Each structure stands twice: as C-alpha cells, then as structure tokens.
Amino acid sequence: GENTEFGDYTLRIVGHSLGSGIGVILSLMLRSKFPNLRCLCYSPPGGLLTWELATSCSDYVSSFVLDSDIVPRLSISNMER
C-alpha cells in the first residue's frame, strides 16, 4: 500500500543512455503497482521496444534526444538503410 508519511510523493524513474532503456523496462514492470509512476529517458537506446509497446506507454514515459546523438537512433531498419 501507499506510505501515509510520504503519500504526496510519486515514483519517478530517470536514466541516461542504457540506464534510460533499463528505466523504461522497469517502468513497464512497476506501472501496475505505482499508477502515478513517470519515467524520464535521456538519450535512450533505439530499438528496445516495439512500436506498439512504445506508443502504449507514451502517457507516462518521456524521452529526450540531444541533437544528432546516434544511440537513440539505432535500430535494425536504420542500420540496414
């Protein structure tokens, strides 16, 4: 249950690069237990989630990409192109 001493707090998961990839997977796992959870991803690696899974968690996961950082743009289709 929720801790009454810290009842106003919500869980935030924040990560950079591979840490943000782990953060989004952890968020998917914990979302049912912590419905107010939010995840902030800085330069997450591309290609970790399917399009359907990525769009289904878009209401609580936000990703930020800086300029032409290659890590978030890596995917099988981009590598093949």
* Contacts (Cβ under 8 Å, ≥6 apart) of 74: 45, 46, 47
- Transcribe 51-79 into DSSP letters: HHHHHHTTTTEEEE--TT-SGGG--HHHH
- Active-site residues: which are they? 17, 69
